[in-house]
Amino acid sequence: MNRTPVIIGADEIRRQEDAAERIAALPNRPDSYHIVTYGCQMNAHDSETLAGLLESMGLEETPDRTTADLVLFNTCCIRDNAERRALGNVTWLRQLKRSKPHLLIGVCGCMVQRPGMADRILRQYPFIDLAFGTHNLHQLPSMLYELLTRRERVIRVSSEDTAIAEGLPIKRASDSKAYLTVMYGCDNYCSYCIVPYVRGRERSRAMRDILAEAESLLRSGVQEITLLGQNVNSYGNGTDETFPALLRALDEMGVPRIRFMTSHPKDLSDGLIEAMARGSHICNHLHLPVQSGSDAILSAMNRRYTRERYLERVGALRRDVPGIGLTTDLIVGFPGETEEQFEQTVSLVQTVGYDSAYTFIYSPREGTAAARLGGRLPDDVSSQRIGRLIRAVEEGSQEAYRGMIGTVERVLVESISKRDASRVSGKGTRGITITLDGGPEDIGKIIPVRIRSAAVNTLRGERI
Ligand code: SF4
């Protein structure tokens, strides 16, 4: 259930802007910054906001963390290894700080928001100067000002999880593609997932604010907007501002390409499928995480749909949205998963035929319901299962790719191909990477191509 969000007041935003101006005038302020981002698209977009805030304080981005005056780690805690990797990299910078005492090290994002982490940072990581949680991101200017003027560590983790900050500066990573957040937080409490504990309760932005941001992106020449939320399908729940209504409004505005993620299968409505089917600009791709093909495991995961319902939704999408490509997330080794239950996941993958999938071995997260379950699987069983599952996904994706040979795809060119400098690389509407002949002048353009051949994870096309 979406709650009516509290919009962070103009006074508070002004206070942060003042702090940013005062930092810009400080003689001892850092000149350069580097942000290291872990995790999902939400985090990548948060890093764009952090970059926008830092540039409003006069700092310039540097591509090399060893030359930066401020290094900020925007962390993820969805799996244990994401957290360990982030802490390992932060600790590595401690050496650098010995030879470069003015270096400032900051840590923020989901890992810092996790209960108990702020205390741990205080005690075990004395070289971290600045740490803040997901709900404190907009306060970066005042926190940095405090750090620079008082020369004391600043650690701030708020539990206020119903607020939305509008109007923050954003430094976007691409001129042609943009992320646009439509909602924050999640109320689903899937039993394995830490996100609701670190991103807070569901809250949606007002449609007028989203449309205003989309309009300004369109004016600046953006070709593709990806709408972001932990569960975009429940955007605006309980009001007229539904997700299908938002998609229709963006489609009418003429945004050349619209994508969105992530969609929870239990909230995939007929209205959303209809909006995708009728829209002229909505990409024929849906990321629809299934996690498991076993009803017993789905129930233990608190996913609130069955295998049958999921396959019914897939059938409706394939029927109504021409040429749709599906991608998914899969977890193996959930506590108590039997061989037969795992085989049900493999058979679901074979039935759906995904373009690609993110596959994960279950990672217990302290504080979640699943972390208290018995029946943990031995590592070798989970490793063997994930290998089999990856092979099943690859077989399906190869078949899907081969089926696209001879078809026409419209490619948004993103870069020069890494393997062949006479070719460029981008994504078709299904989200698959496609290469074609071209050069730097094509970057940022949408080019129609005929698909000529398929390789692993890539299609090769020819412009028409
Ligand atoms: S829908 Fe489930 S998996 Fe996705 S963020 Fe929410 S709790 Fe986590």
Q: For residue 104, give the CATH number of its domain.
A: 3.40.50.12160
Ligand 1 centroid–CA 122 distance in Å is: 29
Same-domain check for residues 319 and 206: yes
Residues 302 and 269 in one domain: yes
Residue with CA nearest ligand 1 atom 8: 193
In a domain, 240, yes or no: yes
Tell me, yes or no, whether 173 and 149 share the same domain: no
For atom 1 of ligand 1, the residue with the nearest CA is 188
291 shares its domain with 215: yes
From 134, 161, 188, the end of a domain falls on 161
In a domain, 130, yes or no: yes
How many whole angstroms separate alpha carbon 67 and alpha carbon 34? 9
Residues 356 and 337 in one domain: yes
**Ligand 1 center to 212 CA (angstroms):** 28
SS3 content of the chain, % helix, strand, coil (to 5): 40, 20, 35
Strands (E) in 319-445, as ranges, are 325-332, 356-361, 408-416, 423-427, 433-437
- Burial class of residue 315 in the structure, from the number of CB atoms within 10 Å of its CB (0-12 exposed, 13-18 middle, 19+ buried): exposed
Q: Tell me the best of 190, 194, 331 to mutate to test the pocket of ligand 1, counting ligand atoms within 8 Å of each CB and taking the most.
A: 190
Give the Å distance between the CA of 194 and the centre of ligand 1: 8
CA 447/CA 464 separation, integer angstroms: 8
> How does strand 224-228 pair with strand 458-463?
unpaired
Eight-class DSSP state of 127: T
Ligand 1 atom showing the smallest separation from residue 264 Cα? 1
- Does 1 map to a domain? no
Distance 308 CA to ligand 1 centre (A): 20
Give the predicted TM-score (pTM) of the model.
0.95
In a domain, 180, yes or no: yes
Question: Among residues 381, 402, 423, which one ends one of the domains?
Answer: 402
Ligand 1 center to residue 230 CA distance, Å? 7
Atom in ligand 1 nearest the alpha carbon of residue 230:
5
Best residue among 78, 231, 235, 329 to mutate for probing ligand 1, ranked by most atoms within 8 Å of CB: 231
Looking at 26-116, list the stretches that DSSP marks H as alpha helix, in order from N- to C-terminal side: 41-56, 80-99, 110-113
50 and 184 share one domain = no
Question: Which atom from ligand 1 is nearest to the alpha carbon of 189?
Answer: 7
Do residue 45 and residue 171 come from a single domain? no
Ligand 1 mutation pick, 43, 199, 202, 230, max ligand atoms within 8 A of CB = 230
Give residue ranges with CB within 6 A of ligand 1: 186, 188-190, 193, 195-196, 230-231, 264
Identify the residue whose C-alpha is closest to ligand 1 atom 2. 190
Whether the CB-CB separation of 161 and 145 falls below 8 Å is answered with: no
pLDDT the model gives residue 205: 95
- As a whole number of Å, the end-to-end CA separation of the chain is 48
**Would you state the pLDDT for residue 31?**
97
Same domain, yes or no, for 314 and 172? yes
User: What whole-number distance in Å separates Cα of residue 413 and Cα of residue 461?
Assistant: 12
Ligand 1: distance of its center to the CA of 262 in Å?
9
Interval between CA 317 and ligand 1 midpoint (Å):
22
Q: Is 207 helix (H, G, I), strand (E, B) or coil?
A: helix
Helices and strands in the chain, H and E counts: 14, 21
Task: Compute the distance from residue 97 Cα to the ligand 1 centre, in Å.
Answer: 37
From 193, 264, 368, the mutation candidate for ligand 1 (largest count of ligand atoms within 8 A of CB) is 193
Same domain, 274 and 317: yes
Ligand 1: which residue has its CA nearest to atom 4? 230
Beta-bridged to residue 427, according to DSSP, are: 412, 433
CA–centroid distance, residue 295 to ligand 1 (Å) = 18
- Cβ–Cβ under 8 Å, residues 324 and 318: yes
What CATH number corresponds to the domain at position 261?
3.80.30.20
Nearest-atom index, ligand 1, CA of 196: 7
Instruction: Show the low-confidence residues of the chain (pLDDT under 70).
Output: 1-4, 237
Tokens linked to 408: 């026409």
Residue to substitute in 186, 201, 292 for testing ligand 1 pocket (most ligand atoms within 8 angstroms of CB) = 186
Strands 203-204 and 183-184: what pairing? antiparallel
Distance from the alpha carbon of residue 199 to the mean position of ligand 1, in angstroms:
10
Tokens linked to 166: 């509008």
Count CA within 13 A, CB hemisphere, residue 298: 22
Looking at the structure, tell me whether residues 315 and 328 fall in a common domain. Answer: yes
Are 308 and 348 spatial neighbours (Cβ–Cβ below 8 Å)?
no
pLDDT at 230: 95
What lies within 8 Å, CB to CB, of 339 at 6+ separation is none
> 451 C-alpha vs ligand 1 centroid, how far in Å?
35
CB burial of residue 125 (10 Å; 0-12, 13-18, 19+): middle
pLDDT of residue 381: 97
Cα of 258 from ligand 1 centre, angstroms:
22
Range of the domain at 430: 408-463
Query: Both 153 and 60 in a single domain?
Result: yes
For ligand 1, the distance from its centroid to the CA atom of residue 329, given in whole angstroms, is 11
Which of 356, 382, 402 is at the close of a domain?
A: 402
**Token code pair at residue 362:** 């279950």
Q: Do 386 and 450 lie in a common domain?
A: no
Of 293, 280, 92, 297, nearest in space to 190 by CA: 297
**Domain-located, residue 228:** yes
Number of domains in the chain: 3
